[in-house]
Amino acid sequence: METQALTPKDRIILPLDVSDVQKATELVNLLSGHVGLFKTGLEFIWSQIVNLLLLSDEEAIALLKQVRVLAKAIGAPHTFIDGKLCDIPNTVKGASAAISRLGVKMFNVHASAGIEAIKAAVADRGASQVLGVTVLTSIDAEECVSIFGAQPSEKVLKFVEKIWLAGADGVICSPQEISVIRSQSDFCSLLLVTPGVRPEWAAAGDQKRVMTPGEAIKAGADYLVIGRPITKPPAEIGGPVEAAKRIAVEIAAALAERRQ
């Protein structure tokens, strides 16, 4: 997948992990010139659905207008819908067809749904890119064995093979699995989108399999999902804009080193 045209800041995906539309809008207005994509996930999506159903008619109409303003501020080409579709193929197909109508840049499906479900998402992706989720970055080796019966590196490769065979555009994986995926020639065309990225100056939080932005890019990542280090950086870093700029500089240096 061609990514040479991406600038360092284009490779940063900021998750809008908030339940409040106003807070999400503030983040978008503040950072739209400093990150490439905004990821709307389950917290944000479900918060708005519930509010639209429970608020009064007047309040729901006002909220809907706010959501539409936010969507316009982000823009479909800069939107990643993080719904982690995981269901029978027919259900995934219907959900994918609905999402693709928005013309968003990316949406995802969990590889554990099986290859036919991934194929269903691919078939109805429209102009969007489909990413396959492998093993969540909050899951450590012991829990991975408990859930999937294998170590993360082994299970991720099996998931990636299904994602590749299904014709998806890319993979979401921990930084720790980037190198092993990139070592497989069959998977060279896949985009690698990597959560669990934390600069040296940021706390790891609930992520277990982490790496710095520079390390992840040098290993072969295309996009980095970075939230709290940007939205809530340490005081000595400054605000979100300063944090995003610092990360973009680190990405630029890593890209230069990767190309040598």
Residues labelled catalytic: 84
Q: Which residues of 146-169 are buried (b: 16+ CB within 10 A; e: fewer)?
A: eebeeebbbbbbebbebbbebebb
Helix/strand/coil (H/E/C) assignment for every residue in 12-27: EEEECCCCCHHHHHHH
Q: What single DSSP character describes residue 79?
A: E
Give the C-alpha separation, 181 to 144, whole Å.
18
Do the beta carbons of residue 247 and residue 230 sit within 8 Å?
yes
| Residue whose token pair is 């969990």 | 110
As given in the structure block, the two tokens for residue 222 are 């295309």
Dihedral sign, Cα of residue 195, residue 176, residue 173, residue 136? negative
